[in-house]
Amino acid sequence: MADEFMKGFAIFTAGLLVWMTFAGWYNTESFYGTQLVGPNPEDPGTYTAMALVVKDAALYFALLGALTFWVLIPAGRRTRSYYASR
């Protein structure tokens, strides 16, 4: 169980670090304004559009990766052991 927790934690940390970096670059209006969750830039260039896709992908990777290793894999193992003991 500790192995799955650490894998999920590493995915969660790395994914959110990438998300926070790109959100800080592209979605922070000012220091005293909205930070990290501001609107995306209007009419982004090619590289900015690719960075926004990477930002969204990193967020989903972090959330779904942590969910997989913290909930789905342990539940699947418990279900498999339950049906094996019957």
With H, G, I as helix, E, B as strand and everything else as coil, classify residue 39. coil
pLDDT at 38: 87
**Residue closest to 25 by CA, chosen among 10, 16, 35:** 35
16 Cβ contact list (under 8 Å, min separation 6): 58, 59, 62
**Token code pair at residue 76:** 């699947």
Domain membership of residue 31 as a residue range: 2-85
- Number of structural domains in the chain: 1
Averaged pLDDT for residues 29-35: 85
Rounded to two decimals, the pTM is 0.85
